């Protein structure tokens, strides 16, 4: 299975059982992707940290842990869920950005290794934990990604410390007797060619030579998946081979032959394992454009409105429908949020859609539910897992109206 594609019968059955809209995940595919990533390099000193921000459902984290991946965190909330999923402090790398002093102390007290990404936060870390181990995130000048908003390397980003500040980093490390356990980077999210990742890896290896005795170098995530049917799958075999070569060359010149190489995939592990199901409630034409009205607003899936992202959609015909023609139509699939930008899929050529049909959105396992919101006071959807035996199981309850009212003092 390359992508999880829910069957029509199953989709109608699940919506009848759990309600709409609904996120549905395939355990089988998550496990497959974990194994592929672990096999990127076949050597002892290679480690995969799942980047939890892509999907933090507790049950999904448990599966990923069971597959032997480690994990990153970027907020106390992620840390807390990861601990609940069974990850031990030494299996977590906290890749931070602009932590409050309280958050930093929280991480230190838990004994979790922290990556800082500014001189001021390195200074703060030194004050809180003199003599401790720390990680520093560098920007090697190379960025990548499907949108400027998720490009986190190069000249136009708030992230990391540029190489020119290495002397200042060394100064702060010495001042607080900090031991630099590793260096990391993340150039951006979603590349499908191997070049930018390899180029940035070589640069980070180069930079690592400035710091003898590191335990690891962490290259970050960003491994893309083909959202569009015409996109080509990332060639993990080629990437693995070239990475292995670059790493070998680096190790030959480095003082710690056991240094661990780490990667931090988020999307690659979970994206294709998720489908989002919603119902069609209205069909209309406005000035020559056909609109399919569903319950899949941008409160449920934010990627299209935020990044103009493409997600393939499947039309699952209502078994009660009398429509038997093979007619197709050009349509906009829209949600139920009161903004004109609330378009899930624009100008798509699809089989004729009617009220009562189901729309299944593909590749939503990453940055889907985690970016959902209560905008328009809508409830966040439920999540269901199709387990390895093919059984469905609720792994997150749908929100309730009590949840919406919970935070008003005095109610
Ligand atoms: N490591 C760090 C430090 C990161 O900031 C990220 C993602 C990752 C790893 C994992 O990246 P991945 O392998 O998933 O590409 N909401 C956007 C993506 C934002 C990614 C943020 N950082 C989207 O829906 O495309």
Taking a C-beta distance cutoff of 8 angstroms, is the pair 333, 296 a contact? yes
Residue nearest to atom 3 of ligand 1 (CA): 186
Cα(365)–Cα(194) distance, integer angstroms: 23
pLDDT > 70 in the chain, percent: 100
Residue bearing tokens 């089988």: 28
Q: Is residue 265 lining ligand 1, measured as CB closer than 6 Å?
A: yes
- pLDDT category at 134 given cuts 50, 70, 90 is very high
The CA dihedral of 104, 110, 116, 122, to the nearest 10 degrees, is 60
pLDDT, tens only, 9-20: 999 999 999 999
| Spacing, Cα 16 to ligand 1 middle (Å) | 33
Cα(192)–Cα(227) distance, integer angstroms: 11
* Whole-number pLDDT of residue 94: 98
* Whole-number pLDDT of residue 367: 98
Q: Is residue 304 lining ligand 1, measured as CB closer than 6 Å?
A: no
Torsion sign over Cα 270, 43, 88, 121: negative
Residue nearest to atom 22 of ligand 1 (CA): 189
Taking a C-beta distance cutoff of 8 angstroms, is the pair 389, 368 a contact? no
- pLDDT category at 154 given cuts 50, 70, 90 is confident
Q: Is residue 153 lining ligand 1, measured as CB closer than 6 Å?
A: no
Residue nearest to atom 20 of ligand 1 (CA): 189
* Whole-number pLDDT of residue 145: 84
With CA atoms as reference, report the closest residue to 395 among 152, 78, 59.
Answer: 59
Cα(156)–Cα(149) distance, integer angstroms: 10
pLDDT, tens only, 101-114: 999 999 999 999 99
Q: Is residue 191 lining ligand 1, measured as CB closer than 6 Å?
A: no
Atom of ligand 1 nearest to the CA of 271: 14
Q: Is the pLDDT of residue 124 over 90?
A: yes
Atom of ligand 1 nearest to the CA of 147: 25
Q: Is residue 33 lining ligand 1, measured as CB closer than 6 Å?
A: no
| Spacing, Cα 280 to ligand 1 middle (Å) | 31
* Whole-number pLDDT of residue 4: 98
pLDDT, tens only, 365-407: 999 999 999 999 999 999 999 999 999 999 999 999 999 999 9
- pLDDT category at 146 given cuts 50, 70, 90 is confident
Look at the pTM and tell me if it is higher than 0.75.
yes
Cα(209)–Cα(349) distance, integer angstroms: 53
Judged by average pLDDT, the poorest of 79-88, 149-158, 200-209, 271-280 is 149-158
Please list the active-site residues. Answer: 338
Cα(311)–Cα(37) distance, integer angstroms: 23
pLDDT, tens only, 307-364: 999 999 999 999 999 988 889 999 999 999 999 999 999 999 999 999 999 999 999 9
Q: Is residue 364 lining ligand 1, measured as CB closer than 6 Å?
A: no
- pLDDT category at 156 given cuts 50, 70, 90 is confident
Residue nearest to atom 16 of ligand 1 (CA): 367
| Spacing, Cα 128 to ligand 1 middle (Å) | 28
Average per-residue pLDDT in the chain? 96
Q: Is the pLDDT of residue 142 over 90?
A: no
């Amino acid at each position: 299975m390359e992508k999880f594609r829910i069957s029509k019968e199953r989709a109608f059955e699940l919506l009848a059982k759990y309600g709409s809209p609904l996120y549905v995940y395939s355990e089988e595919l998550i496990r497959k992707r974990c194994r592929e990533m672990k096999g990127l390099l076949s050597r002892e000193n290679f480690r995969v940290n799942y980047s939890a921000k892509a999907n933090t459902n507790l049950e999904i984290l448990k599966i990923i842990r069971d597959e032997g991946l480690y994990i990153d965190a970027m907020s106390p909330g992620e840390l807390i869920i990861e601990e609940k999923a069974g990850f031990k402090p030494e299996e977590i790398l906290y890749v931070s950005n602009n932590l409050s002093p309280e958050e930093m102390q929280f991480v230190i007290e838990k004994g979790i290794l922290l990556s800082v990404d500014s001189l001021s936060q390195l200074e703060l870390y030194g004050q809180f934990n003199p003599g401790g181990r720390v990680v520093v995130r560098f920007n090697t000048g190379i960025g990548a990604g499907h949108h400027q908003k998720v490009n986190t390397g190069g000249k136009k980003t708030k992230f990391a410390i540029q190489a020119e500040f290495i002397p200042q980093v060394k100064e702060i490390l010495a001042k607080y007797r900090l031991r630099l356990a590793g260096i990391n980077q993340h150039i951006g999210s979603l590349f499908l060619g191997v070049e930018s990742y390899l180029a940035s890896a070589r640069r980070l290896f180069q930079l690592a030579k400035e710091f003898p005795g590191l335990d690891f170098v962490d290259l970050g995530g960003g491994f893309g998946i083909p959202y569009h049917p015409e996109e080509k799958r990332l060639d993990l075999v080629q990437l693995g081979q070239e990475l292995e070569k670059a790493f070998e060359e680096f190790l030959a010149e480095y003082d710690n032959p056991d240094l661990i190489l780490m990667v931090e995939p988020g999307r690659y592990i979970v994206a294709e394992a998720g489908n989002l199901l919603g119902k069609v409630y209205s069909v209309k034409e406005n000035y020559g454009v056909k609109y399919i009205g569903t319950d899949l607003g941008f409160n449920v899936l934010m990627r299209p409105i935020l990044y103009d992202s493409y997600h393939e959609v499947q039309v699952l015909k209502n078994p009660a429908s009398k429509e038997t023609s093979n007619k197709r139509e050009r349509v906009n699939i829209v949600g139920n949020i009161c903004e004109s930008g609330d378009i899930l899929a624009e100008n798509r050529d699809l089989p004729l859609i009617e009220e009562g049909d189901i729309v299944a959105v593909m590749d939503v396992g990453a940055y889907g539910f985690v970016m959902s919101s209560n905008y328009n006071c809508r409830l966040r959807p439920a999540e269901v897992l199709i387990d390895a035996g093919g059984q469905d199981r609720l792994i997150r309850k749908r929100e309730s109206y009590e949840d919406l009212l919970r935070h008003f003092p005095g109610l």
